[in-house]
Every structure is written in structure tokens, then in C-alpha cells.
């Protein structure tokens, strides 16, 4: 069963509609005969247009490096997830995560050039990632994302991916 049809403009035949019944969409004119204007999605109130890669919009490599370093500051204090990280190779872990995120969001392909395909599930499989561990990871990453002071649309786009990725890495439920 479908719901009632909702009008999206003036009724068919009214001025400015071109008789299409689509509020001028088909005829190229909006209400009152004014040409329809394109919609520009902005990253924040009065902010730049949401175009180009997230990598470029948020400041490139320096922003991702800050994000990852802030994330690991929290992780090092976490008794649940810190044992999963290589303390002797913390700089390597920081580099890998930063390079992966940069590449994913439109930056250089350095990660794949040096490490091959990301294969996230395979690389995380040796670790016992429970829902509790996932939530700890997400909390530290959330703090790191918020510390960047990104425009709301950029923050939502970045956070949405990180949240989905963390759920996908959960591999143990005991």
C-alpha cells in the first residue's frame, strides 16, 4: 500500500509551473516563474561547498596525523584495548592508521603502495575484538574526531565511516 501523493509545488497549470504539476522542475522555473536555483550542500553554516575529497576539505595529512595521534593518546591509557596494540611499534601503528585513513578519504595511495590492499578484516582477525573492545575504540576515536573541530557535515561523514568500520571489525562475542 502506498501513502498519499504529496505535492512538491503549485498545482498543475498554475503560473510558473509550465503545466507540469512538478512545481517548475520540468519546466526549469520555480514558484512565481523564478528560475529554479541549484542547491549547494555546505559543510557548515555559511561554510564551503561540500565538494572534493574529505581529505582536502579537512586539511589533508596534518589533520589525519593529529586525529590518529590524539586517538592513540587515549588508547595508551585504556586497559581493555591497549594490550592489543604493539607498544614497541607505536610509531608504526600511528603511521599505518594515518596513511590508511588518508588514502581512504582521497589522499595519497602510500598505504597501498607500501602495504598492499588494506584487508581490514584479515589484518584484525588475530585480535579478540569484542563489543566492549569496539566501544572503547570508538570512544577514543570519537574524542579524537571531536578534537579536530571539523565542520558538522565533514565530522558526520568521517564519524559514520569510523563507526561502521569498528562494528565490522568485531569478531568475538564472548
Distance CA 89, CA 140 (A): 19
* CB of 135 closer than 8 Å to CB of 142: no
Residue linked to cell 512545481: 23
User: In the prediction, which pLDDT does 86 show?
Assistant: 84
Share of the chain above pLDDT 70, in %: 71
Mean pLDDT of the 136-150 span: 98
* CB of 154 closer than 8 Å to CB of 43: yes
Residue, of 93 and 21, whose pLDDT is higher: 93
Distance CA 51, CA 40 (A): 9
Backbone phi and psi for residue 42, each to the nearest 5 degrees, phi listed first = -110, 150
Predicted confidence (pLDDT) per residue in 56-76, tens digit: 999 999 999 999 999 999 999
Q: What is the DSSP letter of 128?
A: -
Residue, of 96 and 24, whose pLDDT is higher: 96
Predicted confidence (pLDDT) per residue in 110-141, tens digit: 999 999 898 989 999 899 999 999 999 999 99
Amino acid at each position: 500500500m502506498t501513502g498519499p501523493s504529496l505535492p512538491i509545488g503549485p498545482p498543475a497549470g498554475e503560473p510558473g509551473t509550465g503545466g507540469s504539476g512538478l512545481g517548475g522542475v520540468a519546466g526549469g522555473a520555480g514558484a512565481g516563474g523564478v528560475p529554479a536555483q541549484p542547491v549547494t550542500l555546505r559543510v557548515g553554516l555559511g561554510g564551503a561547498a561540500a565538494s572534493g575529497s574529505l581529505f582536502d576539505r579537512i586539511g589533508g595529512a596534518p589533520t589525519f596525523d593529529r586525529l590518529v595521534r590524539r586517538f592513540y593518546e587515549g588508547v595508551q591509557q585504556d586497559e581493555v584495548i591497549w594490550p592489543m596494540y604493539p607498544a614497541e611499534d607505536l610509531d608504526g601503528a600511528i603511521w599505518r592508521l594515518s596513511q590508511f585513513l588518508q588514502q581512504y578519504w582521497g589522499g595519497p595511495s602510500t598505504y597501498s603502495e607500501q602495504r598492499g590492499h588494506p584487508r581490514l578484516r584479515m589484518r584484525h582477525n588475530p585480535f579478540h575484538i569484542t563489543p566492549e573492545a569496539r566501544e572503547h575504540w570508538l570512544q577514543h576515536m570519537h574524542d579524537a574526531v571531536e578534537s579536530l573541530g571539523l565542520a558538522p557535515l565533514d565530522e558526520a561523514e568521517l564519524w559514520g565511516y569510523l563507526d561502521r568500520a569498528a562494528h565490522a571489525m568485531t569478531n568475538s562475542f564472548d
